[in-house]
């Protein structure tokens, strides 16, 4: 396993931050899907560095080159492989990391796991850069979902203590199409200004800050997913926890539901336009691991970027002594805006997997 | 998939609440593990109904019968199958559920998913009763982990708004062995009294209440897990989301980390007794999906039991009209105390899977 | 892995020959399949020992007890577990086998693989007895296939040098329904007499003999299977090689095709009743790993039963000296007649897996 | 599934014959393996077209470019992706194939399977060209096996009716290292001349011919593999059947064992140099699905190249009328010599998978 996931749509993400290239193979895609490359690039650009003063200065074209599985813009059903070259790498910034691991990075654990043979440059295979092929794969899956009327979109739910207006979980169509085309999408633009100001402040303090992303999927039919270990929550969380820096995943009312009474938390069934719905959606559109037909709601908590310019304490693994560490290189003071399309991608890919399991694609 | 999980230790959980029997097959267990059946029964009893006034009155022996894979108390390496008979079933209580689905239960979604052929009695395969074989499998896995010096234990972290003392995430040995042998384990007995009182109150109001469970694992070596989709968070969450009523899973500082600065959240490396440790453990013992050697900390949020005695609103799926629903039968006003050994079991099984992937078992 | 197989229909076979019970779990079965238990017993009886003078004297009822996944005779979609008790065991016959392994049995390799902890009695999990749950699972899958008009059946193709009339691989319906209900099915009854006589002769010489089984599937739609590693040949052979004593698997013209010219071997496309067919079927109904709509033809070679009453040479693993071995106990002089329903079962289960992958079930 | 295989070493082969590129991802490779690129190229060249008058005239460099997972010639443990560009393509040769499918090719079945969206040019993803990445992956796996003293090699066992000297299955070291470095390796050079003459004759007749490949592995420890569905035979055959044109796979004495008595077929255990061996090796080094420590012997039957220049009968799928077909383009009159390194590669990859399952890598 490790960088391969999926029982029906098999995905392998490969590459190292400062290697030749990164990319993805997708085996099991349905044949006959017409792909719109401009829609793929919208997603790639949402994730790309350098969009905004809040993100790292590293700027790469990040144009995926499709090597297989697509003919005249239409999927052939054979495995799709796409590759993104690494062009803009400053390897010298990372020379020291095997000796003095960066706090809250994978330097230390990767070194043990791979007996020191892992490519440490830029975080290697652990780098956030590896989410670029994830976003690419998600962009393919979004287009597959659209053929079934399913839209995935999200917003920056919070940066630190600053919260955007949360999704109305029962809502009639939220503006997911619009949100899912924007960089740093929020529901309330005034809140976004506060978020941006907070990020600038943190940056000027040589620090970083965390946040939460909320993603919804509309248009999912009821009856997708299975009990126990192929439940919608379990499958989606497997994909989201594949994104670096995620420390929690919740659905519907999430952790808040633990404070509620049954009479508050239960989602009453109602009839609306001859359709079964629920008057609230604390379950996030999932009951018994299976979709209810209500919007699917998921949230992911991101830790602050562990790379900060402030001097930090670490240890020298050779001398086994404590030492100061100054991290050089370019880093996002807040990864959350760029992580938004990654979480949406993870949800989109997971939904394709879930729909394929039900023979719906 | 669905009720099968694991790439190295393949587990299938089978059975329906009011069918012949429930049980589990475990394929891939190492040969030569001496099993202590009394330790298995300690775990079974922690989960069993009827332990306490806070739980359902249904009382079953729930003694697993091992059919294969064990000879003279020692694992043979062949698949282990264990079966628990269903003896105490009141099927009449559930007759109506396909027509008028219970709010926030799987009745409605299961009906769609299985075209009405699912066994609805007692929730069928979706019943919380299916966690009995999970706890059994967990008890086997705990004993495997103990041979490597790894202990899994937890406590009721919160019931509604009432919180137990949280685990000190950097702690020297917590009393995990003691906690993991108790029903309704907490760190602070005074808090437990308040929790019990709250549950009694809720019960007398014909209502239910949710809560959070916190589980730790001590003794894990550094270097277990893999980047991306076989990361420790992703694997563990796949197992935990297999438990009914879980709506969120978080590791280390979890969702709180989203409010922190990098300089607060980063876990500084230190040297202690010639060993690399971290001075805090906001990452919950996992960096880059790989264990750091610090305690593993995970929390799961449980919704309130959806079965409450209060009259509720639902719909009649035949007439497609809204209707009142009164749920009969026996239900826990709070599932959290009995769910504690289930989460511990899920973590223990996931850890065996993770250790097997690294060739450590 | 090991005793678990299937990506869509997950099957785990458990049990040891002289343990409590043997059985199978099937996870992923479609809901709503009406099962005919008498048809299951026809298959169980074809495999059961004691049918005929050519088989072992051990006689067990071998009536599977379904514990889950079936309600009122109809599949619920939840995992099906069925258990067959072991009642007639003579464990003393096998005491010596860990020290002096039987030639061409798994005693030696299992002992190394499981560090001596495997249950050696009656071959344990390696016993041919473990094909009883396989036949049960196959009987379920046959009934699923019948709902799609697909019939699986076979015959004893050869015993030693004595060959039955082979299947006409292009044939209009072969008598598969009839064949698949018989013990020791052949196309030519006169040949069967010779086969039986040969087996009797071999038996009287305290020896055993091998043979080949040929199985066909009619009614398969074209377009099932996938290129490379989910090709029909690869999937089916994975299941057939799970049956003890199989040393070769071939499709269509099989090994004979290696002696042919392209102009002889190529199956010309023709139109028959407005349908695309081929005038020959050397490919066995599979092109590029995908069904062509022609009959699927597969053959499996079985080695002679390794347990023979003749004195044999072996080694004492304690003294590391060579020694004589006399095998006690009851054994089939020829396993092939009883293996026939096992191969048919393996093919039926593999076909359900393949059809599920295409969303056809 | 389909083009992805492996539970421990996950391999996906991608690409279409006349697309941008073909290649492979390998996820799960151990870190720290020093790779010798010249050894990789020896294998690539054995498979490459244009080696010999017996093979197609198409000549491509086929130099794999490693994009990830290798740093300074050493595996990092991250997924390895390698790409081979397609440079020499004559797409016009294949225009007609969706309308008039070539006999015994995948044109017809692929068209149904992928609703006509598959890339038909040069056979697309079904092309024998896709064995180039397989051979590359095999070359990596051979180097991993060599670190454990395991050598995989083979020879052309037969072309049509002409047979090379078969492997002595019990032999002390066969010249596997030498054989596995040669194009068209045989044990008896005089036989090879006859084989070449036969191929020339067949070619001059605008025809093609089949053959059998025999592969051995030396140095495997006893105890690798598992009973039933992760047995060595089942795993290896899954990989070999992924190679186009294979219609049969057998181990040890293979189909011939079906004609033998138990007293002939049984492999007696003996002691040689204080080691347990067998005096014959009819089981091909595998008992109960587990390696015995004797040489592993496997054979694969290849059909004659279905593309022949002779005029053939086929059908026009538009008009649904029978028609003549003349296949243009370049084809091997006998694929067997070039297929030899492919079978060796499949065995090598399967052995790495099997060793990883046992925690031996």
pLDDT value for C329: 75
Strand, coil or helix: C129 = helix
C306/chain B closest Cα distance in angstroms = 22
A337/chain D closest Cα distance in angstroms = 27
Instruction: Give the orientation angle of helix B232-240 with respect to helix A232-240, to 10 degrees.
Output: 170
For residue A305, give the chain B residue with the closest CA.
B262
With 60 as the cut, is the pLDDT of residue C27 above it? Answer: yes
Q: Give the pLDDT mean for C25-40.
A: 97
In this complex, is the C-beta atom of C227 within 8 Å of any C-beta atom belonging to chain A?
A: yes
C215/chain A closest Cα distance in angstroms = 29
DSSP assignment of C34-83 = BP-HHHHHHHHHHHSTTSSTTS-S-------EEEESEETTEE-SSPEEEE
With 70 as the cut, is the pLDDT of residue B33 above it? Answer: yes
With 80 as the cut, is the pLDDT of residue D1 above it? Answer: no
Average confidence score pLDDT of chain C = 94
Neighbours of chain D (3+ CB pairs under 8 A): A, B, C
With 60 as the cut, is the pLDDT of residue B1 above it? Answer: no
3-state secondary structure B57-97: CCCCCCCCEEEECEECCEECCCCEEEEEECCCCCHHHHCCC
Domains and CATH numbers, chain C: 4-357 (3.60.150.10)
Give me the sheet containing A10-15, strands edge to edge.
A4-5, A10-15, A21-27, A80-85, A65-68
In this complex, is the C-beta atom of D73 within 8 Å of any C-beta atom belonging to chain A?
A: no
A298/chain C closest Cα distance in angstroms = 26
Q: Out of A126, A248, A268, whose CB is closest to B255?
A: A248
Beta carbons of B115 and C31 less than 8 Å apart: yes
pLDDT value for C96: 74
User: Considering only CB atoms, which chain C residues are within 8 Å of A356?
Assistant: 359
In this complex, is the C-beta atom of A12 within 8 Å of any C-beta atom belonging to chain B?
A: no
A359/chain C closest Cα distance in angstroms = 4
Read off φ and ψ for residue D284, nearest 5 degrees: 70, 25
Beta carbons of D227 and C101 less than 8 Å apart: no
Confidence of residue A218 (pLDDT cuts 50, 70, 90): very high
Torsion of CA D210, D211, D212, D213, to 10 degrees: -100
**CA–CA separation, C260 vs B155, rounded Å?**
71
Beta pairing partners, D26:
D11, D80
pLDDT value for B54: 55
With 80 as the cut, is the pLDDT of residue D350 above it? Answer: yes
Contacts of D72 (CB under 8 A, 6+ apart): none
Neighbours of chain B (3+ CB pairs under 8 A): A, C, D
Lowest mean pLDDT among A6-15, C168-177, C349-358, D274-283: C168-177
pTM (2 decimals)?
0.96
pLDDT value for A357: 94
pLDDT value for B95: 64
Give the residue among A108, A245, A195, A322 at the shortest CA–CA distance from B265.
A245
Q: Give the pLDDT mean for D310-337.
A: 93
What is the CB neighbour count within 10 angstroms for residue A199? 26
Beta carbons of C227 and A78 less than 8 Å apart: yes
In this complex, is the C-beta atom of D27 within 8 Å of any C-beta atom belonging to chain A?
A: yes
User: Considering only CB atoms, which chain B residues are within 8 Å of D361?
Assistant: 359
Interface mutation target, options D28, D359, D361, chain B, most CBs of B under 10 Å: D359
pLDDT value for B98: 81
Q: Out of C10, C21, C78, whose CB is closest to B119?
A: C78
Beta carbons of A222 and B112 less than 8 Å apart: yes
Beta pairing partners, D70:
D75
Q: Give the pLDDT mean for B102-106.
A: 96
DSSP assignment of A98-156 = TTSPPTTSSHHHHHHHTTT-S--GGGGGGSGGGHHHHHHHHHHHHHHHHTTT-EEEEEE
Beta pairing partners, D250:
C248, D299
In this complex, is the C-beta atom of D78 within 8 Å of any C-beta atom belonging to chain B?
A: yes
Contact B265, B253 (CB under 8 A): yes
pLDDT value for A231: 96
Contact A22, A122 (CB under 8 A): no
Contact C315, D276 (CB under 8 A): yes
**CA–CA separation, A297 vs D109, rounded Å?**
41
With 70 as the cut, is the pLDDT of residue A1 above it? Answer: no
ipTM field: 0.96
pLDDT value for B35: 98
Contacts of B85 (CB under 8 A, 6+ apart): B20, B21, B65
**CA–CA separation, C233 vs D251, rounded Å?**
16
C63/chain B closest Cα distance in angstroms = 16
Q: Give the pLDDT mean for D183-203.
A: 97
Beta carbons of B238 and A238 less than 8 Å apart: yes
Strand, coil or helix: C300 = strand
Contact D262, C334 (CB under 8 A): no
pLDDT tens-digit profile of A57-75?
555 578 999 999 999 999 9
D83/chain A closest Cα distance in angstroms = 9
**CA–CA separation, A22 vs A4, rounded Å?**
14
Confidence of residue B119 (pLDDT cuts 50, 70, 90): very high
Contacts of A97 (CB under 8 A, 6+ apart): A105, A107, A120
Give the residue among A28, A7, A142 at the shortest CA–CA distance from A75.
A28
Give the residue among C250, C225, C237, C97 at the shortest CA–CA distance from D232.
C237
What is the CB neighbour count within 10 angstroms for residue B115? 12
pLDDT value for B331: 86
Beta pairing partners, D313:
D324
Higher-pLDDT residue of C146 and B328 is C146
In this complex, is the C-beta atom of B64 within 8 Å of any C-beta atom belonging to chain C?
A: no
B121/chain D closest Cα distance in angstroms = 35
A238/chain D closest Cα distance in angstroms = 17
**CA–CA separation, B76 vs C123, rounded Å?**
12
Torsion of CA B219, B221, B222, B223, to 10 degrees: -140
Beta carbons of C31 and B76 less than 8 Å apart: no
pLDDT tens-digit profile of C112-164?
999 999 999 989 999 999 999 999 999 999 999 999 999 999 999 999 999 99
**CA–CA separation, C63 vs C51, rounded Å?**
15
User: Considering only CB atoms, which chain C residues are within 8 Å of A78?
Assistant: 227
Tally A–B CB contacts below 8 A: 369
pLDDT value for B96: 74
With 90 as the cut, is the pLDDT of residue A98 above it? Answer: no
CA B212 to chain centre: 11
Beta pairing partners, B211:
B159, B302
Tally C–D CB contacts below 8 A: 371
CA C4 to chain centre: 16
pLDDT value for C87: 84
In this complex, is the C-beta atom of B71 within 8 Å of any C-beta atom belonging to chain A?
A: no
For residue B356, give the chain D residue with the closest CA.
D359
User: Considering only CB atoms, which chain C residues are within 8 Å of A7?
Assistant: 7
Q: Out of D66, D78, D83, whose CB is closest to A67?
A: D83
In this complex, is the C-beta atom of B228 within 8 Å of any C-beta atom belonging to chain D?
A: no
Eight-state DSSP code of residue D262: H
pLDDT tens-digit profile of C206-242?
999 999 999 999 999 999 999 999 999 999 999 999 9
For residue A359, give the chain C residue with the closest CA.
C359
Eight-state DSSP code of residue B241: T
Contact D278, D292 (CB under 8 A): yes
DSSP assignment of D230-241 = G-HHHHHHHHHT
pLDDT value for B84: 97
- Distances D17 to A71, C175, D84 between C-alpha atoms, Å: 12, 42, 11
For residue A288, give the chain B residue with the closest CA.
B106
- Distances B182 to B179, B255, B304, C261, D71 between C-alpha atoms, Å: 6, 28, 22, 74, 51
The two three-digit tokens of residue D22, written as one number: 């073909």
Q: Out of B113, B261, B274, whose CB is closest to A202?
A: B261
Q: Out of B12, B67, B71, whose CB is closest to C119?
A: B71
B113/chain D closest Cα distance in angstroms = 24
The label of the residue with tokens 């989410």 reads A131
With 60 as the cut, is the pLDDT of residue B116 above it? Answer: yes
- Distances D309 to B12, B239, C205, C262, D330 between C-alpha atoms, Å: 53, 57, 55, 10, 9
With 90 as the cut, is the pLDDT of residue D254 above it? Answer: yes
Confidence of residue C330 (pLDDT cuts 50, 70, 90): confident
**CA–CA separation, A137 vs A349, rounded Å?**
7
Q: Give the pLDDT mean for A142-160.
A: 98
In this complex, is the C-beta atom of B72 within 8 Å of any C-beta atom belonging to chain C?
A: no
Give the residue among B347, B349, B329 at the shortest CA–CA distance from B129.
B329
Q: Out of D71, D117, D119, whose CB is closest to A119?
A: D71
Contact B110, B124 (CB under 8 A): yes
Confidence of residue C331 (pLDDT cuts 50, 70, 90): confident
pLDDT tens-digit profile of A163-203?
999 999 997 778 999 999 999 999 999 999 999 999 999 99
Beta carbons of C68 and B118 less than 8 Å apart: no
Alpha helices in B215-255 (DSSP H): 232-240
Beta carbons of B259 and A302 less than 8 Å apart: no
Q: Give the pLDDT mean for B19-35.
A: 97
pLDDT value for B87: 84
Confidence of residue D266 (pLDDT cuts 50, 70, 90): very high
Beta carbons of C109 and D252 less than 8 Å apart: no
Beta strands, E only, chain C: 4-5, 10-15, 21-27, 65-68, 70-71, 74-75, 80-85, 151-159, 162-163, 211-218, 246-251, 269-272, 275-278, 286-287, 290-291, 296-302, 312-316, 321-325
User: Considering only CB atoms, which chain C residues are within 8 Å of B74?
Assistant: 117
Give the residue among A191, A133, A125 at the shortest CA–CA distance from A158.
A191
The length of chain B, given as a count of residues? 361
Alpha helices in chain A (DSSP H): 37-47, 107-113, 131-146, 176-179, 189-204, 232-240, 262-265, 336-357
pLDDT value for C295: 97
pLDDT tens-digit profile of B140-185?
999 999 999 999 999 999 999 999 999 999 977 789 999 999 999 9
Percent of chain D with pLDDT over 70: 95
DSSP assignment of D126-185 = GSGGGHHHHHHHHHHHHHHHHTTT-EEEEEEEEETTEEPPPP-TT-S--SHHHHTTSTT-
Q: Give the pLDDT mean for B336-349.
A: 98
Contact D174, D146 (CB under 8 A): no
């Amino acid at each position: 396993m490790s960088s391969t996931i999926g029982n029906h749509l098999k995905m392998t993400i490969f590459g190292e931050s400062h290697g030749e290239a990164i990319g993805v193979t997708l085996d099991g895609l349905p044949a006959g899907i017409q792909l719109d490359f401009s829609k793929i690039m919208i997603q790639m650009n949402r994730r790309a560095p350098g969009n905004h003063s809040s993100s790292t200065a590293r700027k790469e074209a990040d144009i995926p080159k499709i090597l297989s599985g697509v003919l005249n813009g239409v999927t052939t059903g054979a495995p799709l492989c796409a590759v993104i070259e690494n062009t803009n790498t400053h390897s010298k910034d990372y020379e020291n990391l095997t000796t003095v691991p960066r706090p809250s990075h994978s330097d230390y654990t990767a070194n043990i796991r791979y007996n020191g043979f892992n490519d440490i440059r830029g975080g290697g295979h652990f780098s956030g850069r590896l989410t670029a092929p994830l976003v690419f794969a998600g962009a393919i899956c979004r287009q597959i979902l659209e053929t079934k009327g399913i839209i995935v979109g999200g917003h920056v739910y919070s940066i630190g203590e600053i919260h955007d207006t949360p999704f109305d979980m029962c809502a009639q169509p939220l503006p997911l199409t619009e949100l899912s085309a924007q960089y740093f999408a929020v529901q309330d633009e005034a809140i976004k200004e506060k978020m941006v100001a907070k990020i600038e402040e943190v940056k000027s303090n040589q620090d970083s800050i965390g946040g939460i992303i909320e993603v919804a999927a509309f248009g999912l039919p009821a009856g997708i997913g299975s009990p126990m270990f192929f439940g919608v929550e379990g499958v989606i969380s497997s994909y989201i926890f594949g994104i670096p820096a995620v420390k929690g995943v919740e659905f519907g009312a999430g952790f808040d539901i633990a404070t509620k009474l049954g009479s508050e938390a239960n989602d009453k069934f109602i009839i609306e336009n001859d359709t079964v719905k629920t008057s609230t959606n604390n379950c996030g559109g999932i009951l018994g691991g299976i979709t209810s037909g209500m919007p699917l709601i998921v949230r992911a908590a991101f830790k602050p970027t562990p790379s900060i310019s402030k001097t930090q304490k670490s240890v020298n693994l050779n001398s086994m002594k404590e030492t100061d560490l100054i991290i050089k290189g370019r880093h996002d003071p807040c990864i959350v805006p760029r992580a938004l399309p990654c979480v949406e991608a993870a949800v989109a890919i997971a939904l394709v997997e879930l729909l394929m399991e039900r023979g719906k694609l």
